[in-house]
Structure 1
Amino acid sequence: MKIEIQQAREEDGEELTELRVDAMRESLEAVGRFEPKRARERFLNNFDPQITFRVLCESKLIGFYALQERESYLWLDHFYIAASLHGRGIGSQVMEIIKNIARSRRKSIRLGALKESRANAFYLNHGFVEKEQKAWDIYYEWAEAYS
């Protein structure tokens, strides 16, 4: 599947929110924390189109990620692919793009994932190393040296 990455715009907030809620539903339901209203508000209150990138296929939104540059690493704040497309390799394509950005900037990538989410296996399979666990999340880091 050929994908395209585009910078998000302010007006994309609602559409990205819907995709995020749909993509997170299964994981949040598994831990009894699925609250669509809260999930929407939480995302929209912090939505920054300057660090958010839409993933498109044939001009249709199929995912997005938010990548924030920090002093010594890149923080992958959001990374979602439409639930109906999970398991098709799209996330792996996008992750390689994100890793190439990190390589070009000579930085690691850090992120957090909900403990019960299938995303944890995805990140481990893509060379991320667990660094810390908190009440609800597991925090990972990827660096060229880990791969």
Structure 2
Amino acid sequence: MSALPAWTLRPATAADLEPLVELRAGVMRPDLERLGRYDEHRVRQRMRDAYRPEHTSVVELPDPAEPLAGCLALAPDERPGTLLLEHFYLRPELHGRGLGTAVLRAALDRADAGGLAVRLNVLNGSPARRLYERHGFALESEDPVDVHLHRPARPVDPGKAVS
């Protein structure tokens, strides 16, 4: 495994939409094709329809040639006391280097600081499911396409600093 790259999170803007749409299409293509569900228009339009920059963060690397590493959205859910984690994508060449773990940990620390549960959906058979389960997510329900995971609210350790 390569060393964890330096990274930062910044708030997303409307200008980030199309680069994030393309990132999503590329990242999701292998799993959607495996499930027989890939549609190049639909995979992009779903992101366009659901994009909420006020709840989205862009993961950046200190690489002037290609700073966009990924994105993550953490928004209030319809269930009280719960956040919905969605649109968590990293460029495929960055997988397996600890970046996903670090970004997810930062998002979960924010949820923990607010005493909030987190839920998400992942495609059935996606390797990302293991990442989520390592961070305390458990199966809520599944169907042939989607796996719904939930992580209960966690009490904050008073000795732990949250940024």
- Using the size of structure 1 for normalisation, the TM-score is 0.93
Specify which of 11, 18, 21 is matched with residue 25 of structure 2. 21
The answer to whether the Cα contact below 8 Å between 2:74 and 2:84 also exists between their aligned partners in 1 is yes
More helix by share: 1
Is 1:41 aligned to residue 50 of structure 2? no
Is 1:55 aligned to residue 62 of structure 2? no
User: C-alpha distance in 1, partners of 2:143/2:61?
Assistant: 35
Q: Deviations over 1:96-143 (max 9, x none)?
A: 101111111001110011112111122112221111113411111113
Unmatched segments (≥5 aa) in structure 2:
156-163
User: C-alpha distance in 2, partners of 1:126/1:29?
Assistant: 27
User: C-alpha distance in 1, partners of 2:53/2:118?
Assistant: 19
Letter in 1 for 2:129: N
Is 1:102 aligned to residue 111 of structure 2? yes
Is 1:136 aligned to residue 136 of structure 2? no
Q: Deviations over 1:4-43 (max 9, x none)?
A: 0001000110000111111111111111111121111111
Is 1:67 aligned to residue 67 of structure 2? no
User: C-alpha distance in 2, partners of 1:66/1:45?
Assistant: 14
Unmatched segments (≥5 aa) in structure 1:
none
The answer to whether the Cα contact below 8 Å between 2:35 and 2:145 also exists between their aligned partners in 1 is no
Instruction: Report what 1:8 is aligned to.
Output: 12
- What count of residue pairs does the alignment treat as equivalent? 145
The answer to whether the Cα contact below 8 Å between 1:27 and 1:118 also exists between their aligned partners in 2 is no
SS in 2 for 1:106: coil
Letter in 1 for 2:11: Q
Bigger radius of gyration: 2
Letter in 1 for 2:69: I
User: C-alpha distance in 2, partners of 1:31/1:116?
Assistant: 9
Letter in 2 for 1:41: Q
User: C-alpha distance in 2, partners of 1:97/1:41?
Assistant: 28
The answer to whether the Cα contact below 8 Å between 1:63 and 1:82 also exists between their aligned partners in 2 is yes
User: C-alpha distance in 2, partners of 1:114/1:5?
Assistant: 25
User: Could you tell me the percent identity over the aligned residues?
Assistant: 32
Moved over 6 A (4+): none
